[in-house]
Chains A and B, each alone.
Chain A
Amino acid sequence: QKEVEQNSGPLSVPEGAIASLNCTYSDRGSQSFFWYRQYSGKSPELIMFIYSNGDKEDGRFTAQLNKASQYVSLLIRDSQPSDSATYLCAVMLAAGGYQKVTFGIGTKLQVIP
């Protein structure tokens, strides 16, 4: 079982729709959860982070965390063609005196005009 699992996609949604990106993780000790957006050929860019169970909203983005189910998701409302990118889920825990971060393979999102 991979430590952080994401469906590689592509996930295609029409412009204006809600895109739902999902991520599951295996280590119950995981403490922090991050979503990065990566455009083709570019480096990852942090867009959201969440530490506690529940929802966290920032503009059109909502991160949702359910530690009991070991599940974190990212919702993108009113999807735009500029949202087309790969979204990486990253899971962090403090272990052995350092921050261990594990990334998923990313979900490719395509927003269709």
Chain B
Amino acid sequence: DGGITQSPKYLFRKEGQNVTLSCEQNLNHDAMYWYRQDPGQGLRLIYYSQIVNDFQKGDIAEGYSVSREKKESFPLTVTSAQKNPTAFYLCASSIWTGRANQPQHFGDGTRLSIL
């Protein structure tokens, strides 16, 4: 089945530690996105990538880093600089046509908590 796989489902971070969230898709989508969701707030964009080896900061990129070495993969690292990392992290992907008409599809998410 085609889809977006996020792992792990739950992740715990110790203070001062970097952690990496995995996102893999087999939909052959060009664009991939990372969002953060906090209670009572909408999804906020962390990073996005439209092609391999290129990515752009979203609205809340501080304390996060990404890479896009393969079309299928877009891992997110939550660094120790992110002081409030507890949230639900969602990876999404979409076809990129150059026009605003392709919906984003989401993985199942990773819940990150502080130990």
**Would you give the 0/1 interface string for A96-112, flagging 1 where the beta carbon is closer than 8 Å to chain B?**
01111111111000000
Contacts A42-B108, A99-B31 given; indicate if A4 touches B42 (C-beta within 8 A).
Answer: yes
Query: Any chain A CB within 8 A of the CB of B115?
Result: no
Q: Contact partner of B42 among A32, A94, A103, CB < 8 A?
A: A103
**A34 proximity list for chain B (CB < 8 A):** 103-104
Contact-residue bracket for chain B: 20 to 34
Contacts A32-B100, A92-B100 given; indicate if A105 touches B42 (C-beta within 8 A).
Answer: yes
A32 touches B101 (CB 8 A): yes
Please count the residue pairs between chain A and chain B whose beta carbons lie under 8 angstroms apart in the complex. 61
A94 touches B100 (CB 8 A): yes
SS of B interface (majority): loop
SS of A interface (majority): strand
Number of interface residues of A (CB under 8 A): 29
Nearest-CB distance from B109 to chain A (Å)? 5
State the CA gap A36–B90 with chains docked (Å). Answer: 14
Name the residue of chain A whose CB is nearest to the CB of B109. A43
Which of A4, A30, A34, A94 counts the most chain B CB atoms within 10 A?
Answer: A94
**Would you give the 0/1 interface string for B15-57, flagging 1 where the beta carbon is closer than 8 Å to chain A?**
0000000000000000101010000111101001010000010
A interface with B by C-beta (< 8 Å) = 4, 8, 30-32, 34, 36, 42-46, 49, 51, 88, 90, 92-94, 97-106
B interface with A by C-beta (< 8 Å) = 31, 33, 35, 40-43, 45, 48, 50, 56, 90, 94, 96, 98-109
